[in-house]
Amino acid sequence: MSGHRQRRDLGSAPEAGGEVVRTGASLLPSRLFHEAVAQAQVAISITDASATILYANAAFGRITGYQPEEIIGHNEAFLSDHSTPREIYESLWSSIKSDRPWSGYLVNRHKTGARYLAELTITPVQAQDGSSYYLGMHRDVTPMHSLEQRVRNQKALIESVVDAASMPLVVLDEAGRVVLDNQAYKKLIGDFGVGEPAAEFLRLLQADMGPAFEAARSGGRGFERQEVMVGPPTSNRQRWFSCSGVWFRERDPSAEAFFHDRRQTYLLLVANEISHLKQQQEELYATALRALTAEQELVQSLQEALAGASFQFQGPLNLIGAATGILDRRVDACEDTAALQRVLRHALEAGREAQAMIRQSMPMRPPEAVTPVSFNGILRDVLSMYTNRLLAEGVVVDWRPAPQLPGTTGREGRLRGMFKQLVDNALDAIPLGRAAERELCIVTADTGDGILVRIDDNGPGIPEEDRLRVFEPFYTTKGAGGSGGMGLGMVQEVVAEHDGTVAVGRSDLGGCRVDLYFPLRRQVLGGP
């Protein structure tokens, strides 16, 4: 070392020099130094003070594409690509001319013309005769740079998406500390005023889920749509959140964990506020029921229309069949009679084929499983679907459910559709514009061995002579302008499916009364 300048003794060129080199207290063959440089896996080159290449090892050729004999004698700048900023080269030369090593990145050009990113270290070296040389070592770090950049881009993308999410999102470590959150979560902190909302969510989730919470954590399964209710400390207003979470494990990035699969566990927690959904839950539920029953009624209407068409076909077919039979029995048949017989037979066959096609086109009712049912709950659902109509038409409903009904089984969808049909009939029967109140009374009762459901209205009622005929298909009491259907026939079918009975009588309100009795059932009903 001379003055402030750090110098390294190059000794002689790699091929020449003495037989041994002293390094501390050891003596090593000088040839060993040359072989070490020549066989090194990092690209090594030695240039003179003007950057002309004097030596390059095999790794230099593999990285640059140039063999030593192709590159020696050329300036190192031969490898440079113009995409490297000029300021980088100025910094490089300023350092090495001041006898200071320089490390950095350059964009170089491979022999094939492809660009690659070189991580380069240049060290000034002074020979014994005072000549200056530069020892350069570089490696192609393009794949590593590309991977790092993709990781950064992916990280930035994830952070942007997380931050832009409209629902609060937070990542917690094993101690429950927040390590990542988004703007929606920060806003939630402001709404709560004090404390950490995530800690409150976890407390409520653990209380609600019980052992299932720890089982989900240990099994790494996570949880979905667990509803919790919280209230800000500064307000009595309750807020509902649907929480979903998943645990994930990340490798410990510390050096001591390099050879050991040591991982840290984190929880990704998403809390979606559903307060407004809770407030509208009853209306949404009623809407869903209306949609479900509307679909069932559509299928029923199609069944009625196609059954009516088939029924109407049957009369003419019977007449054609009778006429064909008469002609077959005639003994004085002539050629004209035979022709008429053929025409009638063709008409009869065509009619039967059309009738068969109508029957095949009739939509099938989808099968429904038998489950435990609550008659009070089903009737409450049906009434909720009629809220708007009852208010609009001024109907007074006297809803008198039994405080407690015994448990039984049935097909809930079929029962709901049946009760809706009966309520429809009752509302249609009460004429609009009459002076008296329009009344509807629904009662449930425990008979000891079954359940009684009674529906009364104050309409005109059904004459006694028609109380059995109303269950016939396509019979109606609505007069000449009314249309018949399968409504009460369907009611009788559903009651029979549940081994019950149905009776029509006169209501105490002056209109129609329908009594439905369902024996208690514990076994599964047969049929679809």
165-252+261-277 and 20-145 share a CATH fold: yes
For residue 95, name the pLDDT band (cuts at 50, 70, 90). Answer: very high
pLDDT score for 22: 60
Query: Does 356 or 226 have the greater pLDDT score?
Result: 226
**Euclidean distance between CA atoms 516 and 473, whole angstroms:** 19
20-145 topology per CATH: Beta-Lactamase (3.30.450)
**CATH number for the segment(s) 371-519:** 3.30.565.10
**Binning pLDDT at 50, 70 and 90, where does residue 119 land?**
very high
Which superfamily is assigned to 165-252+261-277 in CATH?
Answer: PAS domain (3.30.450.20)
The whole-chain average pLDDT of the chain stands at 80
The DSSP symbol for 149 reads: H
- Top-confidence residue, 196 or 358: 196
If you average pLDDT over residues 325-338, what whole number do you get?
66
The reported pLDDT for the residue numbered 436 is: 64
Residue 334's pLDDT band, with cuts at 50, 70 and 90, is low
pLDDT at 527 over 70: no
pLDDT of 262 higher than 50: yes
Q: How many residues does the chain have?
A: 528
The DSSP call for residue 78 is: G
Question: Confidence band (pLDDT; 50, 70, 90) for 354?
Answer: confident
The per-residue DSSP string of 260-318 comes to S--EEEEEEEEEEE-HHHHHTHHHHHHHHHHHHHHHHHHHHHHHHHHHHHHHHHHHHHH
In whole angstroms, what is the distance from residue 519 CA to residue 408 CA?
A: 9
Around Cβ 170, how many Cβ atoms within 10 Å? 25
Tell me the C-alpha distance between 457 and 184, whole Å. 54
Structure confidence at residue 331 as a pLDDT band (50, 70, 90): low
Where in the chain are the domains? 20-145, 165-252+261-277, 281-361, 371-519
Quick check: 163 pLDDT over 60?
A: yes
- The string of pLDDT tens digits covering residues 368-412 is 788 999 999 899 888 888 888 888 888 889 999 998 899 899 998
